[in-house]
């Protein structure tokens, strides 16, 4: 298995990456924004993505997006092909894309929004902390990317202040998070997710 910084030679994987993201959204039944092959192709070409390959077979992917004149960057589209799940590959990709973000944009705040408990845990271990959406980029182009998510109505009716996703932020200027004391647990993230679902989904179903 190789983790490679993507380039134009990897454009041939754009379709399978897009399809894998779409299928994952269907299986999980939670908020994952769709990404077209054309959208993925641009990320493969600009040197801001990591692709995992088992020989020539696609195994995983994640990319960097730059916002606010390089004040913010997001690590987005983390996906692992079903054939390679439950092997720790997502964590390796996440770590490599985080390192690439720090190398290319050392002064930028790195952020992400997710409903995935595993991603929240990985983010926390890298030094992210949960934050309100007001602490993330206010670039409207970023939030347009949420339009294909099934929970987009939640984001719009709260005037982009909150959603089922949890915002997480790594600030290179902030003090490192404590290793153990007050460390969020999986149960803590599950409780946060459950509270949000109760607030937004049940209210919407009435």
pLDDT at 188 over 80: no
Q: What is the domain count for the chain?
A: 1
Please name the residue that has the structure tokens 């092959």. 37
pLDDT at 202: 56
Reported as a single tens digit per residue, the pLDDT across 30-77 is: 556 678 999 999 999 999 999 999 999 999 999 999 998 899 999 988
Q: What is the pTM of this model?
A: 0.79
Of the candidates 45, 48, 35, the one whose C-alpha atom is nearest the C-alpha of residue 10 is 45
CATH number at residue 43: 3.40.630.30
Q: How many angstroms separate the CA atoms of 74 and 97, rounded? A: 10
Q: Do 101 and 172 meet the contact criterion of CB atoms below 8 Å apart?
A: no
For 135-149, what is the mean pLDDT? 85
Q: How many angstroms separate the CA atoms of 120 and 53, rounded? A: 24
The domain containing residue 155 runs over which residues?
A: 2-205
Q: How many angstroms separate the CA atoms of 73 and 85, rounded? A: 26
Q: How many angstroms separate the CA atoms of 191 and 169, rounded? A: 19
Q: How many angstroms separate the CA atoms of 99 and 61, rounded? A: 14
Q: What is the pLDDT of the chain when averaged over all its residues?
A: 86
Reported as a single tens digit per residue, the pLDDT across 145-162 is: 888 788 888 888 888 888
The neighbouring-strand residues paired with 54 are: 57
């Amino acid at each position: 298995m190789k983790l490679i910084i993507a380039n134009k030679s990897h454009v041939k994987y754009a379709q399978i990456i897009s399809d894998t993201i779409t299928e994952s959204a269907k299986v999980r039944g939670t908020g994952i924004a769709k990404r077209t092959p054309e959208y993925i192709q641009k990320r493969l070409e600009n040197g801001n993505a990591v692709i995992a390959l088992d020989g020539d077979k696609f195994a995983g992917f994640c990319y960097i997006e730059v916002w606010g004149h390089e004040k913010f960057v997001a690590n987005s589209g983390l996906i692992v092909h079903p054939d390679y799940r439950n092997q720790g590959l997502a964590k390796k990709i996440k770590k490599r894309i985080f390192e690439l973000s720090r190398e290319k944009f050392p002064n930028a705040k790195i952020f992400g929004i997710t409903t995935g408990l595993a991603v929240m845990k990985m983010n926390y271990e890298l030094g992210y902390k949960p934050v309100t959406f007001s602490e993330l980029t206010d670039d409207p182009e970023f939030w347009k990317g949420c339009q294909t998510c099934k929970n987009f109505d939640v984001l719009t009716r709260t005037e982009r202040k909150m959603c089922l996703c949890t915002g997480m932020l790594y600030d290179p200027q902030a003090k490192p998070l404590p290793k153990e004391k007050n460390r969020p647990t999986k149960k803590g993230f599950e409780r946060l997710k459950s509270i949000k679902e109760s607030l937004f989904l049940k209210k919407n179903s009435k």
